[in-house]
Amino acid sequence: MAAPKRSRRKAASEHSNQAFERLAEPLRREIKVHCYRMLGSVHEAEDLVQETYLRAWRSFDSFEGGSFRAWLYRIATNACLNALASRKSSQRWLPHERAPAAVQMPDGTPATDVAWLEPYPDSGLEGIADDAPNPEARYTAREAVQLAFVATIQHLPPRQRAVLLLCDVLGWAATEAPTLLGGSTASVNSALQR
C-alpha cells in the first residue's frame, strides 16, 4: 500500500512542478526587468531572479490562488529590498559620474568603491515598441532614457523605489501595493507623493 501512495505523491509533485513552470516561465523577463530597476545591476538582477524563482518554487504548495503574477512580484520585490538592505550603499551612479580614486562621491565613499549603474542588455528589450526613425537613434534614445530613469530611482530609499516601480511603472493600484510590501494604502500614497 505504501508504493501507490508514493507514486501518487510523485505524480502530484511532477504535476505541481509543471504547473509552476507553466505559470512562472512567461513572467521571467518582466521579473528580471523589475529586479534590474530596483537594483541598477543586470548581474544582481539575474541573481535575484534565480533567488525569486527558487523561493517561489519552494513555497508553491502554499500559494493560495489569486494572482500568481502578484505573488511572484511580491517575492521578487522582497528579495530586492533584502538585497538593498544588505548593501553598503543603495545608490548606483552613471558611468560619466566616475572620478579618480582620490575623489569622494557625494556620500563620502571613495570613487573606487562605488557600484556603477549598468545598462540593460538590448536582447532583453526586443519587442518593445518605439518611434525612433532608425536603429541607431532608437538605440541611443532607448539607452539614454532607461539609464536616466534607473539612475534617478537609485537615489530613492528602497521602499519608495519599490512603490514607484509597482504603481507608476507597472500600473498597480495603490491599494494593491500594500499587499506586496506591507503597510497601508496611505503609506503607499505618501511614498508616491514624495
Single pTM value for the model: 0.63
> Is pLDDT of 118 > 50?
yes
Summarised one tens digit per residue, pLDDT across range 32-75 is 989 988 888 888 999 999 999 999 999 998 888 888 999 999 99
Give me the CATH topology for the region 1-87: Rna Polymerase Sigma Factor; Chain: A (1.10.1740)
Inter-residue long-range contacts of 29-36, CB under 8 Å, 24+ positions, other chains counted: 29/124, 31/72, 31/73, 31/76, 32/124, 33/120, 33/124, 34/73, 34/76, 34/77, 34/80, 34/165, 34/170, 35/76, 35/79, 35/80, 36/120, 36/150
Contact (Cβ atoms closer than 8 angstroms) between residue 154 and residue 123: no
Given a cut of 70, is residue 77 above it in pLDDT? yes
Q: Across all residues in the chain, what is the average pLDDT?
A: 75
Tell me the per-residue pLDDT of 137-171, one tens digit each, with 9 for 90 and over. Answer: 655 666 666 667 777 777 788 888 888 888 888 88
- Contact between 38 and 165 under an 8 Å Cβ cutoff? The reply is yes
**DSSP-based helix, strand, coil % in the chain, nearest 5:** 70, 0, 30
Give 17's pLDDT tier (boundaries 50, 70, 90): confident
pLDDT tops 90 at residue 16? no
The pLDDT value given to residue 99: 45
Extents of the domains making up the chain: 1-87
